[in-house]
A and B are shown apart, each in its own frame.
Chain A
Amino acid sequence: MLGIDLVYLPEFETKMKNFPLARIFLSDELSQNKTLESLAGVFAAKEAFFKAIGKKEGWLDVWIEKNKDGKPQLYSTLIKNNEKVEISISHAGDYAVAVVTINN
């Protein structure tokens, strides 16, 4: 199962400035992603995950944590085995993109 999402940073910035962030992100995600780009990457990863499982669920049912090297790992209450999920995030200028695969 596979999902991808592309985020346009200027749009992300304008909309998120005035949106209750607690509805989309855990406090740990906010403290680990201090720049706009990196938070946009996390957002893209969540969207990509929903596409991969084929269903749109709650934003707080899935979250991304980064280890000390900055490598992202996805966790979710929506799948049994978090080990089977692989994600990759990338940035280029005004865009952030994330790919999520769930192996069977």
Chain B
Amino acid sequence: MNAWELIIQQPVINVLIVMSHSLAGNFGLAIIALTIVVNVCMFPLTLRQIRSSKAMQDMQPKIAELQKKYGKDKQKLAQEQMRMYKESGVKPAGCFITMIIQMPVWIALYQSIMLALAVAPEGLLNLSKYLYQWPTVYSALPLSREFLLLDLAQPNFILAILVGATMWMQQKMSMTTPADAKQAQQSQMMLWMMPMMFALLALSFPSGLSLYWVANSIVRVVFQYRVTGWGGLRRRAPVATGDSEKRPVRFDASEEIKSTDDVGADIVISDSDSARKDAYQPSRLNKTRYQPGRDRAQRRRKK
């Protein structure tokens, strides 16, 4: 056994088997449980990554200003950006480095899942060399591949869709919208491309791996929500412009709207700050609000 197998794979495989044994022989539950445990252990790193992303996101307006100011002088722009990052204590490479540190753990985890699943007879035979001398480990094998009517050794279409959906959700929540339109377009492409790619991969590999991907994305969504809220998933209020007459109206049950035939008003449900500023103000809105009696009279006059 090489160092990777000895230090990383072997302990993870044995823990997975023991967990499966403890969870009534349910390997699907063991995958979910171990994914949660590993995520919790990695939480300090994940938290740093999320906070870095959030800080970068918060700095986007300032970066946009810098781009406006030094658009043509790339060198100066880079200098100013670096100065700003330094002042704010943000390390742009921080996210990437954290991801690089986490990557071997994720690779080890999914390799271990595949090994423990032993989809082919050769897999079960190979598994024997990873086992500790714990009686439970030997007797628990081979692990049951059934989980919620799924065969964890076979690809599953629904799980593949879930892989894509949860990954999209997680990415959308954590996505930084760059100030530059082209960069924004690029990150938008990545937002779709990554989940689609993993969904396609999930169609090709045993669904035990897909289950791990789904569980992992969900756990990270929860972490992301606890730290930054819904992030990119929050619906943004449209910015009121001169050529648009649409005005956001806060949907608030406590505010009583007396007119019941008040049709024609544009309602945008939003919880964003910008929406709150322009929230429903009867005195202002009454000017544009559709007033059945008066408007009908006006129309009649036009005819």
Pairing of A with B: no
Interface residues, chain B, CB within 8 Å of chain A? none
Interface residues, chain A, CB within 8 Å of chain B? none
